[in-house]
Amino acid sequence: MAQTYTHFIGGKHVAGTSKRFADVFQPMDGTIRAQVALANGADVAAAVENAKAAQPGWAATNPQRRARVMMNFVGLLNKHMNELADLLAREHGKTVPDAKGDIQRGLEVVEFAIGIPHMLKGEYTDSAGPGIDIYSMRQPLGVVAGITPFNFPAMIPMWKFAPAIACGNAFILKPSERDPGVPMRLAELMIEAGLPAGILNVVNGDKEAVDALLDHPDIKAIGFVGSTPIAEYIYGRGCTNGKRVQCFGGAKNHMIIMPDADMDQTVNALMGAGYGSAGERCMAISVAVPVGEDTANELMRRLIPRVEAAKIGPSTDPTADFGPLVTKAALERVRGYVEIGVKEGATLAVDGRGFKMQGYENGYYMGGCLFDHVTTDMRIYKEEIFGPVLSVVRAKNYEEGLRLANDHEYGNGVSIFTRDGDAARDFASKVEVGMVGINVPIPVPMAFHSFGGWKRSSFGDHGMHGREGVHFYTKLKTMTSRWPSGIKDGASFGMPVMH
């Protein structure tokens, strides 16, 4: 009998009241693994009320003690790494080694959050005016929430709740209903690490739960990662309701390949960044831009056999390059895009649509697809496919390659592969994209820097984790103080000045 995921409120598993459920599938074989409860407004309200009651005591706990909970949590994540990775792989479809990377990149933000006593230090100016001192502090917002996607069910929840909780907030997590097992397990481990009940609550659900979070007056901030249309919806509704909102949407990440690039390094990078995790990454390279016909021809000569030889396997196969897509609907969607590309006139150099996994015929598998001679008016270039599909757009020169990245509506990540330091420096300065890699295919910053795209890949003023994350989850308070010292000023009706 399939297990049932409920909600996690006040340190306990709570059934909820909606009586609605969704199936959780195992992508590698298409079987139903579990059912997940879908929260209604009353369930969300219960989680928020519980968090609101717990938050003041947590905010009053000194930052060093809050950091110790994060330190304990890091130890538990490492202890349970294999268990978490297996669960993640079975519900998402990515391979176990890739799942461990998902967890590790989340763990790094938890490690960053251990340093929260330093990050919360304010500023102080002695004698800013006659007998006047000015100092500042950062204080938690209260109850905040995060809506996280299916493709990183460990990493992105930790990117959000670790800084928020370390800053003294209570956090409501609404993970994807497609793979809720790991987020639920993370909440359990946080309690085991010493987090007070109610500071991290998890409500599973769909749009009904999302809307309830967006409309609840006691939620002061909300973050989201997912597609751009939903990011726009959440940003608009959240801002209308007076919340601080941070939303990250879709992407179409380019890799500019200069004629002097190390082609072995380039092809290896494209294979991992384009097809890893079956392309279900917002930072995946989905557009390769070789500069010059000779570069393009050499790239295709080397890339075609590598894509054809990629090993696709079940999530539990440690030797597989990538596994299945997350759902049958996702598989059909990606196949549909490949058909669109063919109809639009792109050259389908490698067609992976016919791939079948022996013994796993009901799994959601698709081989790698590679398009050449893609043009900017094609849908496969304009839209995010989110699957193992790489498009090659040939550029005549460097300026055209730079323009392609700058003109696209998305601006999440971009890379340039070159041996020319001048070209790399010029590209880093001029490209209109939030995260830039130089001979690095997936330029996701480390935890002590901040993650964030530009243009229609990002909505809001702050990035995730790093100093930006701390600022998003705190509010600034500045004090101007003077203590009586025999000064007998008369009333002043002008604007105060410090002299």
| Domains, the chain, with CATH or none | 3-249+457-479 (3.40.605.10), 253-438 (3.40.309.10)
3-state secondary structure 390-405: EEECCECCHHHHHHHH
**Selection from 144, 146, 134, 135 nearest residue 106 by Cα:** 146
When pLDDT is averaged across residues 264-270 and rounded to a whole number, the result is: 97
Rg (CA), the chain: 25
When pLDDT is averaged across residues 190-219 and rounded to a whole number, the result is: 98
Distance of CA 296 to the CA centre of its chain: 32
Active site residue 282: yes
Higher pLDDT, 338 or 499: 338
Token output for 469: 């994350």
**Selection from 140, 164, 145 nearest residue 70 by Cα:** 164
Q: What is the mean pLDDT of the chain?
A: 96
Are residues 248 and 457 in contact, defined by beta-carbon separation less than 8 angstroms?
yes
- Residue 206 burial by Cβ neighbours in a 10 Å radius (0-12, 13-18, 19+): middle
Q: How confident is the model at residue 470 (pLDDT cuts 50, 70, 90)?
A: very high
Are residues 452 and 435 in contact, defined by beta-carbon separation less than 8 angstroms?
yes
Q: Are strands 244-248 and 458-459 parallel, antiparallel or unpaired?
A: antiparallel
Are residues 431 and 425 in contact, defined by beta-carbon separation less than 8 angstroms?
no
| 320 secondary structure, DSSP code | -
pLDDT score of 489: 66
Q: Is the pLDDT of residue 106 over 80?
A: yes
Helical axes 96-113 vs 155-166, angle rounded to 10°: 10
Which position has the token pair 């609907």? 329
The reported pTM is 0.95
Q: How confident is the model at residue 494 (pLDDT cuts 50, 70, 90)?
A: confident
First-last CA distance in the chain: 76
The per-residue DSSP string of 395-456 comes to BSSHHHHHHHHHHSSEESEEEEE-S-HHHHHHHHHH---SEEEES-SS-PPPTTS-B--EET
Single-letter residue type at 13:
H
When pLDDT is averaged across residues 183-206 and rounded to a whole number, the result is: 98
Token output for 18: 């909606």
pLDDT score of 492: 72
pLDDT score of 54: 98
Q: Is the pLDDT of residue 363 over 80?
A: yes
pLDDT score of 2: 75
Token output for 336: 């549909």
What distance in Å separates the CA atoms of residue 433 and residue 267, rounded to the nearest whole number?
A: 22
pLDDT score of 498: 64
Query: What residue ranges in 206-314 does DSSP mark as E strands?
Result: 219-225, 244-248, 253-257, 285-290
What distance in Å separates the CA atoms of residue 446 and residue 436, rounded to the nearest whole number?
A: 13
pLDDT score of 496: 74
When pLDDT is averaged across residues 424-442 and rounded to a whole number, the result is: 97
Are residues 279 and 352 in contact, defined by beta-carbon separation less than 8 angstroms?
no
Are residues 250 and 385 in contact, defined by beta-carbon separation less than 8 angstroms?
no
What distance in Å separates the CA atoms of residue 205 and residue 36, rounded to the nearest whole number?
A: 8
pLDDT score of 487: 60
What distance in Å separates the CA atoms of residue 178 and residue 7, rounded to the nearest whole number?
A: 14
pLDDT score of 488: 64
Query: In angstroms, what CA-CA distances link 104 with 23, 78, 348, 419?
Result: 27, 9, 36, 30
Q: Is the pLDDT of residue 486 over 70?
A: no
Are residues 311 and 276 in contact, defined by beta-carbon separation less than 8 angstroms?
no
Are residues 325 and 27 in contact, defined by beta-carbon separation less than 8 angstroms?
yes
Alpha helix locations (H) across 318-395? 328-344, 379-382
Q: Which of 167, 239, 247, 282 is catalytic?
A: 282
What distance in Å separates the CA atoms of residue 161 and residue 376, rounded to the nearest whole number?
A: 38
pLDDT score of 284: 96
